Amino acid sequence: LKEGEVSEAQPVASEASAAPKAEAAPAAAEPAKSSAGGASLSPSARRAVGETGVDASQVEGSGKGGRITKADVLNVASGGGSRTEKHVPMSRLRQRIAERLVDAQHQAAMLTTFNEVDMKPVMDLRNRYKDQFEKVHGARLGFMSFFTKAAVEALKRFPAVNASIDGNDLIYHNFFDVGIAIGSPRGLVVPILRNAENMSMASIEAQIREYAERAQTGKVTIEEMSGGTFTITNGGTFGSMLSTPIINPPQSAILGMHNIVERPVVVNGEVVVRPIMYVALTYDHRVIDGRESVLFLRTIKEMVEDPARLLLEV
C-alpha cells in the first residue's frame, strides 16, 4: 500500500529586504509517531489509527524495523489480529497416525486403481425402504452397509486383497474384519467390524453409528481399532470427489468412497443423467496384482449397481 505523502512547507519571504534572499530550505516532515510499544507508525498508518480507533499498541508492525503500516492497522481493524503462531504438541493419537502413514509409504508398493459406480439402484432402494428399515431395526439405512457387504463378497473372490505380509510369508485371512475410517476431534480412528461376513446390514449400520458417536468423545478403545484385514474410508462425507487413500498397515488394500454427483452417462445408447460415485482401491503391489485389483473393484461396482446380488450372494 502507498504511504501517505507529506507536502513541503512553502518558502517564507523577508518583509524588509532590498534584495531577495535565498529561499528557506523545506521544512522537514513531521516525524512519525510511535505506538505505546515503541514501534513507529507510517503517516498512512497514523491516519488509519485515527479513522478506525484501533489501539496502536496492539498492532504488530510488519514493515522495515517493525514499522507499523496501514495494512497492519486495517488487518487488526477487520478482525485479522496480529500474525501470530501457536505451537501445539501432537497428541499421542496424532503421533501414532503419522507414524503408521509414513510406515505405509515407506514399506508398501502402493498403487491406486479407480472405477465409477452408478448409485441410482441403491439410492432408489434406500429411498423406498429407509423409513421401514429404521422403524424395524432402529438404525438408519446408509450407503456404508451396501459397500461393506459388497467389499466382503469381493474379498471372498479375491483372497489376496484380504491378505497381509509377515516377513517373507503371505498370510491369507479366512475371516473379514473390515475397518471403517471415522473422523473425530482427536483425529482419524478406524474401528473394526469383526467378522463382517456374519453381520446383517442392520447390524453394520448400528455398529458404525455407535462407533461414530463414541469417536466424537474419544471413547473408541484401542482394542476396537486393533487388527483389521481391510479398510473402507468415505471422503464423500466431506465432499471429496477423488482421492488416493493410504493403506492401513499391515493390511494390503483400502477402498475409498467419494461424493455422489449427477453426471451425464450413456445407458442403452442414450445419454442420461445418473448419480455417480468414483471409487478408488489403493493396494500393495507386493501382494496384489493389477488384474486382481481391477477385478476386485469391478466386483464392488457390479454388486452396488445391482444390490439384489448382495442378498443372493451371486
Catalytic residues: 285, 289
The dihedral built from the CA positions of residue 295, 300, 305 and 309, taken in this order, carries a sign that is positive
Nearby residues of 242 by Cβ (< 8 Å), 6 or more positions away? 114, 258, 278, 280
Orientation of helix 144-157 relative to helix 201-215, angle to 10° = 120
Distance CA 197, CA 200 (A): 8
Distance CA 14, CA 254 (A): 91
Q: How far apart are CA 112 and CA 102, in angstroms?
A: 17
Give the 3-state secondary structure of residue 116.
Answer: strand
Q: The cell 471422503 sits on which residue?
A: 235
Contact 155, 191 (CB under 8 A): no
Exposure string of 253-288, with b = 16+ CB inside 10 Å and e = fewer, is bbbbbbbbeeeeeeeeeeeeebbbbbbbbbbbeebb
Alpha helices (runs of H) in the chain, residue ranges in sequence order: 43-52, 70-77, 92-107, 120-137, 144-157, 201-215, 222-225, 290-305, 308-312
Phi, psi of 79 (to 5 degrees): 95, 0
